Chains A and B, each alone.
Chain A
Amino acid sequence: MNIPAELRYTKTHEWIKEENGIVTVGLSDFAQQELGDLVFVNLPQVGDAVTAGEAFADVESVKAVSDVYSPVTGAVCEINEALLDAPESINQDPYGAWFIRVENVTGTVETLSAAEYEAMPKEG
């Protein structure tokens, strides 16, 4: 399983990258494997408020839908519209297929380093 060392992770399997106060969020390789072939993504709109620990998007496989949780509280400043046309990119390149970028971050859930995330027991 691919867990890039430079990213941070949540217990709900999102990855986080922070650059210049902007937080980018996506789903981990483990998450995409568990979810199987994804066929659709529901994303928020630019300007929407997101809250740490609450769902901001969902991803659909053929027979299931799963929430994606925001690691931070803030405002969505960019969404990855390419995912809407190519949800398979989450399966193919989970760390390239970011979901949203968040600015004005005021709060965060507890995050894990790559090593901690790797060590975390995961339900199979």
Chain B
Amino acid sequence: MGSYVPVTPEERRAMLERVGLPSVEALYADVPEGVLLKEPPVFTGGFSELEVRRHMERLAEQNRVFSTILRGAGAYDHYIPAIVRAIPAKEAFLTAYTPYQAEISQGLLQSIFEYQTMICRLTGMDVANASVYDGASAAAEACAMVRERRRTVTLVSACAHPDVIATIRTYCWGSNHEMRLIPEKDGVTDLDALRAALDDQVSGVYLASPNFLGGLEDVSAAAEICHAAGAKLIVGANPMALALFKTPGEAGADVCVGDGQPLGMPLSYGGPYVGFMAARAALMRKLPGRIVGQTTDVDGKRAFVLTLQAREQHIRREKAGSNICSNQALCALTAACYLGAVGPDGLREVARQCYDKAHYFAEKLASIGLPRREKGPFFHEFATECPGGPEKMLVALEERDILGGQPMGDGRVLWCVTEKAERKRLDEAVAVIREVTNL
């Protein structure tokens, strides 16, 4: 047992004497009878490091880790270069608090400034914050940030990730604002329905591209429709796809959000990941959370500092646009390390291999009777029909150490193929599926 307390019983007695108290119990004199515990709470614990290690390993062993993962749906299995794991594990980055004291936090502040710049360049936007919790909360924060006094309704594409929709719905319900869904048509957002739903009450529209079904949306058209009605367009993006496809900035979006997990973060049963948020310059002061800015010190040296702080909860309290305090700084650092490690050519290469392999696999599946329902373009995810249902097929794939696609609830399966999937494993998966579906 240990508690990382570097004080001996003798030292403790000396300290108690110095503060004039007879015992540690006396420190708790203000805790009323009936609340003060006589004994510590009982739970398993008090182990040596080796026992802790064994316990944790036993828990980890109860999970299956698949060598081939053909499932995405918000969490993507990309290769993580060793250097990208090593840098954020440095103790200075790991054990620092938020860089409120700029004079001794320049390394951290500069790393965030670099991250903000990379996110702007990736998304084609003007400004980015230092990160929020994940892609879903980033989407919800974005819907809140574009709200105006006279425009408060949020529209959300039904093609968005179900967790993103649920999170936006929660945030809207929380602040007593209306949210409406725009239906799907042919695997993408129904833009006619969007046009019809827009009125002078709508502040923002959220859609994702690629969307939950993997489809690429016509963001430029959506932006035009939104702007004509005086609403802002928020686009949820996959950072990997941004290497290949038209950016939300190019397409005219006002805000771009997304989950940075593909940029060097392991699957980790869903977290920690990182939410990125970027926007047009005019919306800079509406961005929630921390933002790092460049300035100079008294000697004229370039330096970085948390800026625009008077937007935030610790100063503005109940009038702040968001309550966010901690973000996901270390994950943002990871994303920046990833982008720095792979560089522009490397990122394009990863994205291109995802695209090519996904299209290869989709074609093979179609050829054995698992076609897509939609015709539109996709990046590295796509939904197929699945005759006979997904259950047997997924079990058969698991037996070959392959995590199959995500069952959709309507009989279809949502597949994802990344650069990690080898062709021979894709061919193996196709053979297994053909066998199971008896085609």
Whether both chains belong to one complex is answered with yes
Residues of A within 8 Å of B310, CB to CB, are 39-40, 60-65
Residues of A within 8 Å of B285, CB to CB, are 40
Query: Which chain B residue has the least Cβ–Cβ distance from A60?
Result: B310
Task: Convert A52-91 into 0s and 1s, putting 1 for each residue whose CB lies closer than 8 angstroms to a CB of B.
Answer: 0000001011111100000000000000000000000000
User: With A and B bound together, what is the CA distance between A45 and B151 in angstroms?
Assistant: 14
B309 within 8 A of A: yes
Q: Which 8 A-B pairs have the closest CB atoms?
A: A60-B310, A65-B310, A65-B316, A65-B315, A64-B315, A63-B315, A63-B309, A40-B310
- Apart from A63-B309, A65-B310, A65-B316: 6 A-B pairs, beta carbons within 8 A: A40-B310, A58-B319, A61-B310, A62-B310, A63-B310, A63-B315
Chain A: minimal CB distance from B304 (Å): 15
Residues of B within 8 Å of A63, CB to CB, are 309-310, 315
User: With A and B bound together, what is the CA distance between A39 and B316 in angstroms?
Assistant: 15
Q: Which residues from chain A sit less than 8 Å from chain B, CB to CB?
A: 39-40, 45, 58, 60-65
User: Mind listing 19 A-B residue pairs with CB under 8 Å?
Assistant: A39-B310, A40-B285, A40-B308, A40-B310, A45-B149, A58-B319, A60-B310, A61-B310, A62-B309, A62-B310, A63-B309, A63-B310, A63-B315, A64-B310, A64-B315, A65-B310, A65-B315, A65-B316, A65-B319
Chain A: minimal CB distance from B95 (Å): 26
Residues of A within 8 Å of B308, CB to CB, are 40
Chain A: minimal CB distance from B359 (Å): 49
User: With A and B bound together, what is the CA distance between A64 and B149 in angstroms?
Assistant: 23
User: With A and B bound together, what is the CA distance between A65 and B320 in angstroms?
Assistant: 11
CB within 8 Å: A-B pair count: 19
Residues of B within 8 Å of A65, CB to CB, are 310, 315-316, 319
Chain B facing A: main interface SS: helix
Chain B: minimal CB distance from A10 (Å): 21
User: With A and B bound together, what is the CA distance between A60 and B319 in angstroms?
Assistant: 13
Task: Convert B131-149 into 0s and 1s, putting 1 for each residue whose CB lies closer than 8 angstroms to a CB of A.
Answer: 0000000000000000001
Chain A: minimal CB distance from B310 (Å): 4
Chain B: minimal CB distance from A65 (Å): 5
Q: Which residues from chain B sit less than 8 Å from chain A, CB to CB?
A: 149, 285, 308-310, 315-316, 319
Chain A: minimal CB distance from B230 (Å): 14
User: With A and B bound together, what is the CA distance between A58 and B308 in angstroms?
Assistant: 14
* Residue of A39, A62, A63, A65 ringed by the most chain B CB atoms within 10 A: A65
Residues of B within 8 Å of A45, CB to CB, are 149
Query: Which chain A residue has the least Cβ–Cβ distance from B312?
Result: A65
User: With A and B bound together, what is the CA distance between A63 and B314 in angstroms?
Assistant: 9
Chain B: minimal CB distance from A112 (Å): 28
Chain B: minimal CB distance from A83 (Å): 14
Query: Which chain A residue has the least Cβ–Cβ distance from B316?
Result: A65
User: With A and B bound together, what is the CA distance between A64 and B314 in angstroms?
Assistant: 9
Residues of A within 8 Å of B315, CB to CB, are 63-65
Query: Which chain B residue has the least Cβ–Cβ distance from A42?
Result: B285
Residues of B within 8 Å of A60, CB to CB, are 310
Chain A: minimal CB distance from B140 (Å): 23
User: With A and B bound together, what is the CA distance between A76 and B319 in angstroms?
Assistant: 22
Query: Which chain A residue has the least Cβ–Cβ distance from B305?
Result: A62
User: With A and B bound together, what is the CA distance between A62 and B315 in angstroms?
Assistant: 10
Chain B: minimal CB distance from A48 (Å): 8
* Residue of B149, B310, B315, B316 ringed by the most chain A CB atoms within 10 A: B310
User: With A and B bound together, what is the CA distance between A58 and B320 in angstroms?
Assistant: 12
Residues of B within 8 Å of A58, CB to CB, are 319
Chain B: minimal CB distance from A26 (Å): 20
Chain A: minimal CB distance from B255 (Å): 20
User: With A and B bound together, what is the CA distance between A58 and B149 in angstroms?
Assistant: 16
User: With A and B bound together, what is the CA distance between A61 and B319 in angstroms?
Assistant: 16
Residues of A within 8 Å of B319, CB to CB, are 58, 65
Query: Which chain A residue has the least Cβ–Cβ distance from B315?
Result: A65
* Residue of A45, A60, A61 ringed by the most chain B CB atoms within 10 A: A60
User: With A and B bound together, what is the CA distance between A121 and B310 in angstroms?
Assistant: 29
Residues of A within 8 Å of B316, CB to CB, are 65
Query: Which chain A residue has the least Cβ–Cβ distance from B150?
Result: A45
Residues of B within 8 Å of A62, CB to CB, are 309-310
Residues of B within 8 Å of A61, CB to CB, are 310
User: With A and B bound together, what is the CA distance between A68 and B308 in angstroms?
Assistant: 19
User: With A and B bound together, what is the CA distance between A39 and B285 in angstroms?
Assistant: 12
User: With A and B bound together, what is the CA distance between A63 and B306 in angstroms?
Assistant: 11
User: With A and B bound together, what is the CA distance between A63 and B149 in angstroms?
Assistant: 25
Residues of B within 8 Å of A40, CB to CB, are 285, 308, 310
User: With A and B bound together, what is the CA distance between A65 and B311 in angstroms?
Assistant: 9
Chain A: minimal CB distance from B101 (Å): 13
User: With A and B bound together, what is the CA distance between A65 and B319 in angstroms?
Assistant: 10
Query: Which chain B residue has the least Cβ–Cβ distance from A59?
Result: B310
